Amino acid sequence: MPELPEVEVLRRSLERPLVGDRFEAVRVHFPTLREPLCERRLRRLEGRRVVGLRRRAKYLWIDASGGETLVVHLGMSGRLTLVDRTAPLVEHEHLGFELASGRRLRFRDPRRFGVAFVASTKDLDRDRHFRHLGVEPLSPGFDGARLAGLARGRTAPVKSFLMDASVVVGVGNIYASEALYRARIHPRRSVARIARRRFEVLAAAVREVLGEAIEQGGTTLNDFADGEGNSGYFQVSLDVYDREGQACPAACGASIRRIVTSNRSTYYCPRCQR
C-alpha cells in the first residue's frame, strides 16, 4: 500500500491530533507481524506524551517524552487510524494505543508485512532498520549529481535502482513507474547507460511526482487512508500505473504496456520511454 507520499500524508494527518496526547495503555492483541510485537517494549510508552511525528523512508516515527520513539511501518496492507477508545476490535487489529483523550490509535494489518516497535530516540539512526537507508528524495541532498554518483559502477535496470532503498528511499512500485514515465526513461534501461543530464530529469521527476501525490492526499487503490480515515485522490492522476492497454496520456498513439521486472509489475509507454 504505502510509499513515501502515503506515509507522509499519514504523518501530517496524525500530527495535530496526536501531539500533546498521552499513551495510557498499550494493548497487543495479535503479535504476529513481520517482526513479532514485543509487548514489554511497547508498554514502555505507557504514561508518556507524544512530542512529535517524523517520517524516515516509509517508516513513521512517533516520538514520545522520555526519549522513546514508536516506529511503525505499514508494509503492504497496514493501517494506522484514530478511533474512539470504545470502538470494537476489528479483524487483524494487532495493536491498540489507548490515549488520554479518549481515543485509540489502532494498528491493523491483514497481510502482516508491517512492523511496530519502540526504540530509544537517540539511537534511531543507528538502528538496523535505518542505518543502511539512502537519501530522502525530498531533501536538498537529492539531485541528478547525487543519483549519477550512486549509479557509478552499477548496471541494474533503472527501475530496480530507483526502488533500492539503500540508494534512495520511499520510491515504491507505483511511483517508480510514474517517475520514469515523466522522465521518459525506459524502466529496463541500465543505469550504466543513462547520461548525467537525464539523471537531472529523473531526480526532478521523482521529486515532482512524490510532491504532487502528497498534495493530493496519496494514492488510494484499494484501501489507503490517512489517520482520520480519509482516502487519497492521486490515483486519478496516475499516468501509467495499472493502466495496461490504455492510451498513453501524451497522446503519442501508443498504449501503456505492462512488463515484469524483478517480480514486480512495471508500466510504461513503449513510444515515449527510451
**Binding-site ranges for DNA (CB under 7 A):** 1-3, 6, 34, 57-59, 73, 75-77, 91-92, 110-113, 129, 153-157, 160-161, 163, 165, 172-174, 191, 218-224, 262-265
Greatest CA separation for the chain: 61
In the complex, what is the shortest distance from the CB of residue 137 to DNA, in angstroms, rounded to a whole number? 13
Helix (H, G, I), strand (E, B) or coil at 50: strand
Q: Phi, psi at residue 134, to the nearest 5°? A: -85, -160
In the complex, what is the shortest distance from the CB of residue 173 to DNA, in angstroms, rounded to a whole number? 3
* Burial (0-12, 13-18, 19+ Cβ within 10 Å), 135: middle
Nearest one of 264, 263, 242 to 181, comparing CA atoms: 242
| 264 carries an active-site annotation | yes
Q: What are residue 82's DSSP bridge partners?
A: 105
| 122 carries an active-site annotation | no
Helix (H, G, I), strand (E, B) or coil at 152: coil
Q: Output b/e per residue, 177-198; b: 16+ Cβ within 10 A.
A: bbbbbbbbbbbebebeebeeeb
In the complex, what is the shortest distance from the CB of residue 105 to DNA, in angstroms, rounded to a whole number? 19
The answer to whether 251 and 234 have CB atoms below 8 angstroms apart is: no
Residue type for 86, please? Answer: T
Helix (H) or strand (E) holding 210: helix 196-215
Please identify, using beta-carbon distances, which residue of 41 and 92 lies nearer to DNA: 92
C-alpha cell at 67: 526519549
Q: Single out the catalytic residue among 55, 58, 146, 243.
A: 58
Cα–Cα distance for residue pair 124/94, rounded to 1 Å: 23
For residue 265, the tally of other CB atoms under 10 A from its CB is 14
For residue 158, the tally of other CB atoms under 10 A from its CB is 28
Cα–Cα distance for residue pair 106/95, rounded to 1 Å: 6
Q: Any idea which residues carry the catalytic annotation?
A: 2-3, 58, 264
